[in-house]
Each structure stands twice: as C-alpha cells, then as structure tokens.
Structure 1
Amino acid sequence: MAKKMSPAGEQQVAMLCSELGFTLQGEALKNITGYLNMLQKWSVVMNLVGPRSWEPMLRTLIVDSLHLKRFLETLDFSVVADSADIPMQIWDFGAGAGLPGIPLRMVWQEGEYHMVDVREKRTMFMQMVLAKYPLPATNVHRARVEDFMEGRAPAAMMVSRAFMPWPELLELLTGKIRRGGFVVVLANEPAPAHDVPDASHGRLLPEDWSLTAQYEYSVEGSPRYFWALSSKKAPN
C-alpha cells in the first residue's frame, strides 16, 4: 500500500521558501500552499509531475516560478506595454500542470496571462486550481498553440519551460511577438549569442532576436537559467 503523504502547511512552506531565499506570506503563501497540496493529491492520479510529495515539488518546481518573478521584475516592459485599458498579453505554452504559470501568477500579476496546453487532464487540473484559488487575468486554454495564436494580436511576452527546443520555438513565434517583446526560456545552460552557438543544438541566435537579459540560479546544486530573448522585428 502506498504511503499516505502529509499535506503542506503554510508555516512549513514559508520556512522552506525562506531556506531557498524567498519570503512568502499572506495571500501568496496561502495560495501556493493550496496549489502544492492539490499538485500532491492529483499527481498520484494524473501523473502530473515527477515528484510525489510537496517538499521536492517546492524545491525543484515551484522555486522556478519564484526565481522567474525576480527575473521578470528586472525587464523593461514599457516598450511593449499597451494602454491602461488593454493589458499586455503573456503566453505560456505547454503549461502542463500550471508550471511555471500558476505559482508565478500567485506572486506576480502583471498583464493578462494565458496558459495553453493540448492535453485534457492538464487543462482540467489547471482549471480546478483556478476555481479554488482565483487569480486575476489568468486564463487556461485547451488548444494547439497554432490554433490559439490564430487571429490573436501579437504578445508582449511568451514563457517557455521545456515546450520545444528554442530554435524551433523562435521559428514558431515569427511574427507573433511584438517588437521589443520577450521570449523567456527556462534552460539548463547559458543562452546562445550571435557568434557563439548554444551547447545543446550548436545553433547561433538569429539576427532578428537579441539576448536582453539572463538570470542564473541553482536548484539542488545544478545550474538553471532564464533567458529573455527580445524580438527586433515588427509582427507580420
């Protein structure tokens, strides 16, 4: 018989976040604790993520979202911000169990955030989380990303956590990101440059994109990176 796992408590989550270098409190602490407990419960049924208990989920998965908030706060969105009446559009493709999007939105709520996944169980889980822990301007779509983008105005930012290799991703997003907008990639290696290829694919950064910023951190002793690749080209 499988061992029953204990649910996370807010004090436990706050202490572990503090150990990881983050202060979590108030509504954000309540929501992330609740999300961890839902992720722990439903991962047994749906096989949503690799870890099966909330502690490694927080250490190896949720922590990405907390670092992502820090990184996004260093980026200048003024060149792609819409008017006050039209929030900037942010896309998160292959959102899966809502990572990094759901915990990110629990601590960072700029713009209008769209999580897209084609898998029914994943989108159903994300909708259950948002029904219990509503987040402003945060949406879930069950769709192919090509269908989701069809007819939509270009986005200010797209977030990718293992959605597809970055060279194919930039090709997919040609004409879909506003000039000066960002593609934010979570990777295990430094970003490519125009004259230095990346280690995984041996590809140079295309001339239509520039590396605006890079953020490095460590998870369980292994390096991880966020890259912000900025579009130099106006949308089609």
Structure 2
Amino acid sequence: MQLEELREETAALGFELNPQQVQGLQAYLSTLEKWNRSVNLVGPSHWREILHSLVVDSLYLSGFLSRIAHQEDIRSLDLGAGAGLPGLPLRLLWDKGSYYLVESRFKRCAFMRQAISAMGIQNTYVINGRVEDLPRDILPADLIVSRAFMPWKKLLALTVSMLDVRGSLIVLSSQEAEGKDLQGFVLKEQFCYQVQGKRRFFWALQKMDDGG
C-alpha cells in the first residue's frame, strides 16, 4: 500500500491523519498483513478491508477518549488485545499516559511488540499473561478498554475491582447501554457510529459510588 493511498482511504472515512500518523498506520497494517498469513490474527486478509472493518473503531475511539479522558498521566489497560485492536492504531492518534495491552497468547504478544517497534509509538507496552494475574503495581487503572474480550456482563464483574474510583471502563459493543443492568457501574457517556452500515457503540462507564 502507498502512503497517499492510505491517507485517501482514512480521509474517505472522515479522518484526516498527519504524515507521521499515516506512516505509523501503514507500518501496523503491513505488519498485520504479513503475520496474518501464518497466524490467524484477524479475519480480513487485505489492508483495506482491515482498515474499514476493524481499524475504523480505533479512529472513532481516539476522538471519544479525547473528550472524556483528559488526564495527562493516565494509566490505561487494553484487555484481550489480540491483534492490537483497538489499542495500537489508537495510540497513533491518542497518546496520553501509559497504555498496556494485555494478552495471554504468546504469538499475539510477539506480533504486537513487533508492530509497536515498526510504528514508532511510545509508552505502549505488551503484557503476556492472564488479566487475573496482572501485576499489582499497574492497578488500579484510570482507563480500561475492551473489544470482544468477553461478554460485557462478565467484563463488568471482572474489572470493577481493577478500576480507579474516578476511572472509566470503555466497552465496545453492538448494543446500546440504556436499559441494561450495569452491575455496579453507571453510564457516563455513550457514542454511536456506523461501520459498513451497522451501528456500533462506545460505553463509558464509571463505578457507582457507595451512596448508590
């Protein structure tokens, strides 16, 4: 893929990336295409399809986090990071604080480390291990992000003890949050967008205070 071709594709999606961001995204997509031939990281095989169906979430998420997460030294966890989505493309546009990609499968961690190096992004780290075994020194988190890691009800139960009292849990979902039992969380903000004609949502949840 050519840089100008990639820039035009992201612009067509509604996102104007600077030259450094386009180069970083090219490095991510090229590395992912190469690894995907031997390790089943994502379903789509061509960079354009990966961009339009998967990376687009990261582009929208960067704007969402810019509105709700203002802390400069924020500590973020990306649970079940897999092929580095949404975290690695996200870090090209939203680079606040420290970002930890948590993944139990070794080959996916190896891919993410190579992609981070190729992309040239900073303060972004890979943790090869189970979420339940995270080192205590990076908890509680100020921000937790998860895409398709586990059903959202299980995710809420898992993360409630991992999140700072003022922190936010970001759930990427195909469903609206309104009307759901959020199990000790409250909905701070929700954002709806469309990908290939289908609605997707970000839920920004905060822990309910002791007063309910």
Give the structure-2-normalised TM-score.
0.94
- Per the TM alignment, residue 152 of structure 1 is displaced from its structure 2 partner at its CA by 3.7
Q: Distance in 1 between matches of 2:163 and 2:155?
A: 12
1:231 counterpart residue number:
207
For 2:182, the equivalent position in structure 1 comes to 205
**What per-residue deviation string (whole Å, max 9, x for no partner) do you get for residues 76-131 of structure 1?**
54xxx4xx7xx221000100010000000011101110001000110000011112
State which structure, 1 or 2, has the greater radius of gyration over its C-alpha atoms: 1
- Counterpart Cα distance in 2 of 1:12 and 1:57: 14
Quick one: which of 17, 24, 29 aligns to 2:22? 29
Quick one: distance in 2 between partners of 1:128 and 1:217? 31
Q: How many pairs were matched up?
A: 210
| Identity score, percent | 38
Residue in structure 2 matched with residue 4 of structure 1 by the alignment: none
Letter paired with 1:161: R
1:214 counterpart residue number = 190
163-172 or 119-128, larger mean C-alpha shift = 163-172
Indicate which of 112, 132, 135 corresponds to 2:118: 132
Cα distance in 2 for residues equivalent to 1:149 and 1:183: 19
Partner of 1:183: 169
Letter in 2 for 1:225: F
Counterpart of 1:183 in 2: which secondary structure?
strand
Deviations 1:174-217 (A, max 9, x none): 2211112110010001114xxx23xxxxxx122x3110111111
> How is 1:133-148 mapped onto 2 (pairs within 5 angstroms)?
133-148=119-134
Residue 35 of structure 1 aligns to which amino acid in structure 2? Answer: Y
Among 67, 84, 87, the residue aligned to 1:101: 87
Unpaired runs of 5+ residues, structure 1, are: 1-7, 198-203
In the alignment, the residues of structure 2 paired with residue 138 and residue 153 of structure 1 have an alpha-carbon distance, to the nearest angstrom, of 16
- Contact conserved, 2:156 with 2:182, CA < 8 A, in 1? no
| Bigger mean CA deviation after superposition, 11-20 or 147-156 | 147-156
Of 65, 68, 73, which residue of structure 2 is paired with 1:75? 68
Instruction: Give yes or no for contact 2:24–2:120 (8 Å, CA) kept in 1.
Output: no
Q: What is the CA–CA distance in structure 1 between the aligned matches of 2:116 and 2:69, rounded to whole Å? A: 28
Query: SS of the residue aligned with 1:46?
Result: coil
**Runs (5+) with no aligned partner, structure 2:** none
Question: Matched residues in 2 for 1:176 and 1:29: separation?
Answer: 34
Between Structure 1 and Structure 2, the one with more helix by share is 2
Does residue 10 of the first structure (1) align with residue 3 of the second (2)? yes
- Given the two structures, how large is their TM-score scaled by the length of structure 1? 0.85
Distance 1:50 1:209 in 2: 32
Structure 2 partner of 1:62: 55
* Structure 1 stretch displaced more, 176-185 or 142-151: 142-151
User: Is 1:51 matched up with 2:44?
Assistant: yes
Compute the displacement of 1:150 (Å). 4.0
CA contact under 8 A between 1:14 and 1:24: conserved in structure 2? Answer: yes
Partner Cα separation in structure 2 for residue 211 and residue 42 of structure 1: 37
CA distance in structure 1 between the partners assigned to 2:8 and 2:114 by the alignment: 27
Give the match's secondary structure for 2:190. Answer: strand
Q: CA contact under 8 A between 1:180 and 1:232: conserved in structure 2?
A: no
SS for the counterpart of 2:38 is: helix
